Amino acid sequence: MKPPVMELRGLRHVFPDDKAALDGVDLSIQAGTFVVLAGRNGSGKTVLMRHLNGLARPTSGEVLLEGCPVLDDLQGARRRIGLVFQDADAQIVGQTVARDAAFGPENLRLPRTVIRERVKAALEATGLVGFDERRPHTLSGGEKRRLAVAGVLAMNPDILVLDEPFTGLDWPGCAALLEVLDRFHTSGKTVLVITHDLDKVLAHADRLIMMDEGRIRADGPPSDVVDHVGRWGVRRPSGPITGMSWKRERP
């Protein structure tokens, strides 16, 4: 059997103040799944995300990418796992939108024509056509987030991980982002969305993981988990799971 695309084994992260932000996380994610990870503020979600491509070092435990420790091949991990952080401003590196989206593929030293195609496709997918020459710092919050997604898509990753991606997005912005995630997922790739806005995205997920106090408290099909999310500080949206989407057409 193929190893899971991503595996966390006994992952612990203790900060110098003795706070265990991650307190023994075991998690396997199969390729091609759409996973939602939720939990109250401070439950450890963002710290977990920083371990996925080696931005943080475990106190103990490890992260494996297709069976290989991420820390043994940081470059490979950063190419294959695209992380979209909550703070879109911090992710801006280019002088223009097009330069910014090209930054990742340029670092991979891909041929110019390939880079141009990738950037074009990524700007199309994120609705940023015509923004090529704009200065990123003049974009709105939602546009900056779309640019962060474009930069990651241009790397052509196998796994997309997004931290609170709906924050500050209006309905069309959320719908457009869900469209991008759906298309990515439909092409056989893996999506991990960290959010407490279950009403916007849960209909798209095949798995819901709840974290609290640095541990996984529930993990299963959304229909098994959704009725209990209040226990871990997340609001259960009203109505059926199929209605939990901000995409324009129901999935």
Ligand X SMILES: Nc1ncnc2c1ncn2[C@@H]1O[C@H](COP(=O)(O)OP(=O)(O)O)[C@@H](O)[C@H]1O
> How is residue 16 written in tokens?
């110098």
20 three-class SS: strand
Stretches 4-12, 45-53, 74-82, 126-134: which one binds ligand X (CB under 6 A)? 45-53
Nearer to ligand X, 163 or 199 (CB): 163
Burial of 146 (0-12, 13-18, 19+ CB in 10 A): buried
How far apart are alpha carbons 177 and 107 in whole angstroms? 25
Query: How many residues touch ligand X (CB under 6 A)?
Result: 12
Map the footprint of ligand X across residues 125-154, applying CB under 6 A: none
- The answer to whether the beta carbons of residues 212 and 25 sit under 8 Å apart is no
Closest distance to Mg ion from the beta carbon of 242 (Å): 27
How far apart are alpha carbons 191 and 36 in whole angstroms? 8
| Residue 96 binds to Mg ion (criterion: CB under 5 A) | no
Nearer to Mg ion, 86 or 126 (CB): 86
How far apart are alpha carbons 111 and 151 in whole angstroms? 17
Partner from ligand X, Mg ion, none binding residue 43, C-beta < 5-8 Å depending on class: ligand X
Stretches 40-48, 132-140, 201-209, 240-248: which one binds Mg ion (CB under 5 A)? 40-48
167 three-class SS: coil
Q: How far is CA 102 from CA 155, 212, 224, 245, in A?
A: 9, 37, 41, 31
| Residue 42 binds to ligand X (criterion: CB under 6 A) | yes
| Residue 21 binds to ligand X (criterion: CB under 6 A) | yes
Nearer to ligand X, 44 or 151 (CB): 44
Per CB under 5 A, the list member of 3, 42, 46, 167 interacting with Mg ion is 46
